[in-house]
């Protein structure tokens, strides 16, 4: 499947090469000369492409063919071609904005929450997002997370029975070759307490050719496995991507989506509405909408948190609930994801709650008289649980005014 633009840019490349993901990876564009063929680069882009030390650039021919050469504000262009604005410092800038290093328990293994871990399995991506939250490790050649690191990660997971959910990320896990991925998934599946595997990926949008029938079958063999795709703009949803999503969904792989909210790219309620509707049509459930992290290079993409709240207001109630993601701010310095939403609960007494609807109507909900609260003292599920965080505070346990928990404090004892 070829677009007219891809044939215009690569007239001599036969379809079977174009459709081969390895060809796409080995023909990525990175230099001024290569990219000037695709789009009229401006001075800031030219300067950035020639600046030492900026985050890696590498753009698959497929992705390059999606860039609109006539649209200076093309949302694909802005996500992958650097400008000198990346070099701008800003208040709050961090190189590790989520303090992942402080929660790293083995090479590339981040254990922040009690029952799940983030497992970085490679530093390679198919193309590099200018706003990468993990640019401190991603894209660095020669610093790949390989088999040796995977072994150390698997050892930690095997030794920690509280880990029931393993989230593979990187880099992009789907850039691992079939055999490597299959082995890794097999090893995880062999750990009895690992109930759920998740994969975070941008491959469907940067390199849809990688979503082969063989790959879909490998993923399907390791269920329960959820695939979460990172997509930011409706223009990323090409016919090739629709085929890739259908192949995964038909294989029985449940699909979720995450989106980073960015100035000039998708900070428009109607663009976001178009994106989430089309995702649901393609059997992909919008999961998170992220506030842009305070990471080096991403300053010019940031929006006020108010922008996200306004977008959520435009989604909830106005389209299928399935299409509405949760807007989250990932706490700077590593406290975890914080959901942020418009206020719907306006006030409350023992008798009544005052709420407002998406349409702006005020309503009251009569509270049930004589409700007898759940009795934790006679509940087997509660007897076995150890509440932490604010859930514990509500029960009169735990401490107030704590800093973000350090890793050791989160471990059940
Ligand atoms: C986002 C994230 C997770 C997964 O969080 P969910 O809310 O369960 O999707 C796990 N670990 C880390 C370090 C994360 O950043």
Distance 331 CA to ligand 1 centre (A): 12
User: Residue 255, CB half-sphere, CA atoms under 13 Å: how many?
Assistant: 27
Report which of 323, 317, 321, 325 is spatially closest to residue 291, judged by C-alpha positions.
325
Q: Cβ atoms within 10 A of the Cβ of 331, count? A: 15
> What DSSP element (H or E) covers 290?
strand 284-291
Domains recognised in the chain with CATH numbers: 4-87 (no CATH), 101-339 (3.20.20.70), 376-409 (no CATH)
Q: Which atom of ligand 1 is nearest to the CA of 98?
A: 15
Active site residue 293: yes
The predicted pLDDT at position 341 comes to: 97
**Pocket of ligand 1 contains residue 113 by CB under 6 Å:** yes
The predicted pLDDT at position 141 comes to: 81
Q: Is the pLDDT of residue 143 over 80?
A: no
Q: Is the pLDDT of residue 350 over 60?
A: yes
Weakest mean pLDDT among 167-176, 188-197, 400-409: 400-409
Q: Is the pLDDT of residue 404 over 80?
A: no
Q: Is the pLDDT of residue 215 over 60?
A: yes
**Pocket of ligand 1 contains residue 287 by CB under 6 Å:** no
- Return the percentage of the chain with pLDDT > 70, whole number: 97
Distances (CA, A) of 406 to 88, 105, 339: 31, 11, 21
Active site residue 94: no
**Pocket of ligand 1 contains residue 168 by CB under 6 Å:** no
Q: Is the pLDDT of residue 199 over 90?
A: yes
Give me the mean pLDDT over the 24-41 stretch: 97
Give me the mean pLDDT over the 211-230 stretch: 98
Report which of 92, 93, 94, 66 is spatially closest to residue 80, judged by C-alpha positions.
66
Give residue 333's pLDDT band: very low, low, confident or very high (50, 70, 90). Answer: confident
Give me the mean pLDDT over the 18-23 stretch: 98
Q: Is the pLDDT of residue 223 over 70?
A: yes
pLDDT tens readout for residues 64-115: 999 999 899 999 999 999 999 999 999 999 889 899 999 999 999 999 999 9
**Catalytic residue chosen out of the listed positions 125, 172, 198, 302:** 125
**Pocket of ligand 1 contains residue 225 by CB under 6 Å:** no
Give residue 412's pLDDT band: very low, low, confident or very high (50, 70, 90). Answer: very low
Report which of 331, 247, 245 is spatially closest to residue 283, judged by C-alpha positions.
245
The predicted pLDDT at position 173 comes to: 98
Active site residue 140: no
Give me the mean pLDDT over the 305-331 stretch: 98
Residue of 167, 230, 256, 326 best suited for mutating to test ligand 1, as the one with most atoms within 8 Å of CB: 167
The predicted pLDDT at position 413 comes to: 35
């Amino acid at each position: 499947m070829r677009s007219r633009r891809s044939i215009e840019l690569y007239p001599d490349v036969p379809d079977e090469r174009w459709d081969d993901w390895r060809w796409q990876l080995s023909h990525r564009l990175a230099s001024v000369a290569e990219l000037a063929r695709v789009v009229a680069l401006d001075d800031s882009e030219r300067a950035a492409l020639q600046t030492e030390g900026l985050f890696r650039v590498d753009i698959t021919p497929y992705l390059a063919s999606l860039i609109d050469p006539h649209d200076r504000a093309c949302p694909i262009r802005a996500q992958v071609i650097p400008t000198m604005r990346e070099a701008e410092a800003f208040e709050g800038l961090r190189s590790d904005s989520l303090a992942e290093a402080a929660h790293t328990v083995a090479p590339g293994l981040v254990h922040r929450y009690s029952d799940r871990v983030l497992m970085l399995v490679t530093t390679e991506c198919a193309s590099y997002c200018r706003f990468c939250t993990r640019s401190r490790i991603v894209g660095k050649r020669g610093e790949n997370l390989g088999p040796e690191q995977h072994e150390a990660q698997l050892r930690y997971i095997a030794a920690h029975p509280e880990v029931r959910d393993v989230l593979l990320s990187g880099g992009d896990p789907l850039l691992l070759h079939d055999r490597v991925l299959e082995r890794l998934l097999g090893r995880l599946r062999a750990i009895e307490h690992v109930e759920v595997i998740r994969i975070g990926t941008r491959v469907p949008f940067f390199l849809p050719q990688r979503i082969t029938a063989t790959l879909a079958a490998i993923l399907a063999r390791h269920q329960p496995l959820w695939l979460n795709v990172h997509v930011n703009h409706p223009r990323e949803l090409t016919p090739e991507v629709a085929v890739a999503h259908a192949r995964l969904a038909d294989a029985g792989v449940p699909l979720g989506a995450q989106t980073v909210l960015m100035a000039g790219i998708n900070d428009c309620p109607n663009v976001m509405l178009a994106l989430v509707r089309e995702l649901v049509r393609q059997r992909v459930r919008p999961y998170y909408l992220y506030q842009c992290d305070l990471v080096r290079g991403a300053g010019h993409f940031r929006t006020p948190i108010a922008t996200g709240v306004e977008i959520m207001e435009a989604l909830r109630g106005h389209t299928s609930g399935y299409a509405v993601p949760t807007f989250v701010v990932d706490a700077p310095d590593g406290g975890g994801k914080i959901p942020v939403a418009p206020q719907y609960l306006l006030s409350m007494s023992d008798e009544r709650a005052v709420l407002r609807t998406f349409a702006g109507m005020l309503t009251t909900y009569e509270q049930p008289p004589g409700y007898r609260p759940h009795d934790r003292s006679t509940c087997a599920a509660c007897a076995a649980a150890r509440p932490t965080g604010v859930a514990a505070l509500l029960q009169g346990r735990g401490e107030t005014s704590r800093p973000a928990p350090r890793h050791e404090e989160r471990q059940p004892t």
